[in-house]
Structure 1
């Protein structure tokens, strides 16, 4: 007999003598919950390769082991097993030892199992000691000590084959083990929920470490010696303050190959330049949410590949007077101290290589100066301190042609949309026009305002209908900027050609053998806060630069009767049409098309 299986045998209370089966290679009695006794002959099966005692919850002891052929040994969930069995002979073939969820108090000398590849003793809540031999298992690849809450120390490590080390939830472990020499195989290190306060300088011996997780550890700030790890690409650093520290010291930081996120992170002055110098070679996204500084650190200029920069809720940030050379998007929402923002081209840069495109400054209540206009997009919701002269410049007719790719969401000026959208208060619920050949390049303008002094929260979706066929919703080029805003004053949203995308092809809605096609633009407005009264105006502008005005009309070309419901005589030559709708109500569970 080579295989013997007692799995799930609830009535089995003892494993009898197996002396008559000397050739046994596999023995399994997992989930024998009534098992309390194992005959000593089990420890003398010299040809046994696999021994599985998983889930024998009443088993308190195991006979001494003399198993020279053993390859896998599993005592997982033997929750009353307090002592590892004595090893009487070398187990040179043992590659996998599982002791998870047992009651053992000490990991014994394992020099007799020097070829171990996997060693796991997670959730051993009574474990207080690990023999130093564990740190010298040269073939060990996986070492898992997750959840050993009473473990106070860990032996020094010289594990050249180790690939993964998990010390998470070792809630009494205050010191990280010394790394005695280079360990070039380990790529991931987990230290979540440990009181470890610092990493030793020998951490630099983990030369290939790529992932480092330090969630709710004892460190007050990101350790500076992580800059000694040349291949580190992902960091997760998060710490909740204790009762005495207060909310402002909550820290969270995460990085990836091209992204670095830091939330309310306490980063020491000395490490900041080193840290960013370390990331600057590859970083494309940088998130410094609620990081406490007054001015943008100069070292960020070294991030030559940086495309997106998030400084949201950096409440002490006062001024930004330069941008990294290849930055495309800047978000500085809710920066209540920000007063000055300079978007102009850096000295030595040229317009050809200036990549900045989008700016989001929502709820920067004290922002007074923005130098320059982002080429593609600006959102400035509730920036009520911006001077009217700057808002007027943003809405200036000169941008009608040269700035057709800019989307803008800014405080309203004069309770109406820009003058180059000539008003037409005819009471209709949509903007309507006719076109032939191809769909024209247009700009959409929406004025939304609260009736009364209360704030309004809303979002809206423009829709297009051609010849009675819906071409679904327009989509923003980047959905990240499709948002819900709570406005304290009237606001104007201008969406241009580049940001208008269609879920279905416009050509599919065109009618064959018909010269003119009828287009209607609707705007659906939604409120997440129930019934809200709003004042809305919508309008379009056709760009002459890309369209022949002979191919676009605002009156029905098949109808010679003047006064068509959507005709706007005063704006036909300018290619603009407006509809104004007042005193409408919107709801979170009901939307009305305006």
Structure 2
């Protein structure tokens, strides 16, 4: 029994696990999908080597989880002992187990070393502050939690959150995640209802945003991107594929992301499919022009996994970009959000005008007039929204 590392007990009708289950001392992965349990077996937290556990509810015959006709309601109950706190469980999947708000305090105590947690299709209304005690948790899924209204806490290492089809979750309820810029060392991807955070300096009403950078290396580590879709797209999921155009060369993301309303991703390549920058022609001492955009597909009505292309204009609301100010970086590339060549031409023109344009006495412009022209240039430059970071 000590040599058993994986155990599949799906669809077996098991209601509980006895204490003797601990004799499977070498067990690493345990699968208990679609059984008749009504309580989380406490012996799971006592397994010395268990790192992955799946206790999914619902009917999987059609290749997807259905909320109708659930035969599993999971409630965590029991008295904690010191032995429970030694659990090495890292991945816990409890999709469609109809968990309530009382789950979280006990889960924090039972499974302190979790790194990935999937609670999709549950009944809880609040993600409480105590989830911050999951010190190692980097992935959290709460898709299809229709009663979820508010997120009050965020684990310190959280980099991936998916809250798709959370119909009761409002933009205000996600504020704790979006009110402050993430730490520069975290590569985050959040998929949920919401609004583009205020700390995004650049925004574009549409499906694309342009910027210019200087150097032979693309500064993907310094750029955060946010995509906001229209508010009325909750009925059918959207899949987006990221597109990056650098000096006319189109680079497409390697995979597609499913989202509902808001996607926030730091480090432009992280969570957006990745890009093969070797195809792009970059100028070392000149400005490189880049444009970030995306294409979209929407699930067909009445079909589970059939998607069709949709026009971006029909679903796009806003796109945002933010430049992270990395204190640990010695050299930061120049990044601008207005065309530097256009501004260079405007500067040359204003210099020429201020030097040679005569006044009504047929004399060169005096100093006060030149200052006025340069002030006008500065105001025009600021109105265009130029943002230069060095």
- Give TM class, smaller chain: 0.5 to 0.7
Distance, in Å, in 1 between the alignment partners of 2:185 and 2:254 is: 20
Correspondence for 1:484: 258
Once the two structures are TM-superposed, the CA of residue 471 in structure 1 deviates from its matched residue by 3.2
Does the C-alpha gap of structure 1 residues 534 and 456 become closer, same or farther in structure 2, counting only changes over 3 Å? farther
Q: How many residues align?
A: 317
Distance, in Å, in 2 between the alignment partners of 1:473 and 1:555 is: 25
Aligned to 1:273, which of 42, 65, 70? Answer: 42
Once the two structures are TM-superposed, the CA of residue 223 in structure 1 deviates from its matched residue by 6.7
SS at match of 1:399: coil
Aligned to 2:296, which of 518, 521, 525? Answer: 525
Equivalences for residues 323-362 of structure 1 within 5 A: 323=108, 324-346=111-133, 354-362=135-143
Distance, in Å, in 1 between the alignment partners of 2:3 and 2:178 is: 53
Aligned to 1:443, which of 201, 219, 224? Answer: 224
Correspondence for 1:392: 175
* Deviates most, 429-438 or 384-393: 384-393
Equivalences for residues 239-278 of structure 1 within 5 A: 257-267=27-37, 272-277=41-46
Does the C-alpha gap of structure 1 residues 230 and 378 become closer, same or farther in structure 2, counting only changes over 3 Å? closer
Equivalences for residues 174-573 of structure 1 within 5 A: 221=15, 224=18, 227=21, 230=24, 257-267=27-37, 272-277=41-46, 280-290=47-57, 291-295=72-76, 301-302=84-85, 304-319=87-102, 320-321=104-105, 322-323=107-108, 324-346=111-133, 354-374=135-155, 375-386=158-169, 388-396=171-179, 398-399=180-181, 405-413=187-195, 417-421=196-200, 429-437=207-215, 438-440=217-219, 441-451=222-232, 455-473=235-253, 484-485=258-259, 487=260, 491-497=261-267, 499-500=270-271, 505-512=276-283, 514-529=285-300, 530=308, 533-545=314-326, 551-559=334-342, 560-561=344-345, 569=383, 571-573=385-387
SS at match of 1:315: coil
Asked if structure 1 preserves the Cα contact closer than 8 Å seen for 2:32 and 2:55, the reply is yes
Q: What's the TM-score once normalised by structure 1's chain length?
A: 0.46
Distance, in Å, in 1 between the alignment partners of 2:200 and 2:10 is: 54
Distance, in Å, in 2 between the alignment partners of 1:216 and 1:345 is: 34
Asked if structure 2 preserves the Cα contact closer than 8 Å seen for 1:457 and 1:527, the reply is yes
Larger radius of gyration: 1
Asked if structure 1 preserves the Cα contact closer than 8 Å seen for 2:336 and 2:388, the reply is no
Once the two structures are TM-superposed, the CA of residue 557 in structure 1 deviates from its matched residue by 2.4
Q: What's the TM-score once normalised by structure 2's chain length?
A: 0.66
SS at match of 2:244: strand
More helix as a share of residues: 2
Distance, in Å, in 2 between the alignment partners of 1:574 and 1:392 is: 28
Once the two structures are TM-superposed, the CA of residue 378 in structure 1 deviates from its matched residue by 1.9
SS at match of 2:237: strand
Once the two structures are TM-superposed, the CA of residue 448 in structure 1 deviates from its matched residue by 0.9
Asked if structure 2 preserves the Cα contact closer than 8 Å seen for 1:466 and 1:519, the reply is yes
Distance, in Å, in 2 between the alignment partners of 1:449 and 1:372 is: 26
Once the two structures are TM-superposed, the CA of residue 216 in structure 1 deviates from its matched residue by 7.1
Once the two structures are TM-superposed, the CA of residue 314 in structure 1 deviates from its matched residue by 1.1
Does the C-alpha gap of structure 1 residues 501 and 494 become closer, same or farther in structure 2, counting only changes over 3 Å? closer
Structure 2 residues without counterparts, runs of 5 or longer? 58-71, 301-307, 347-380
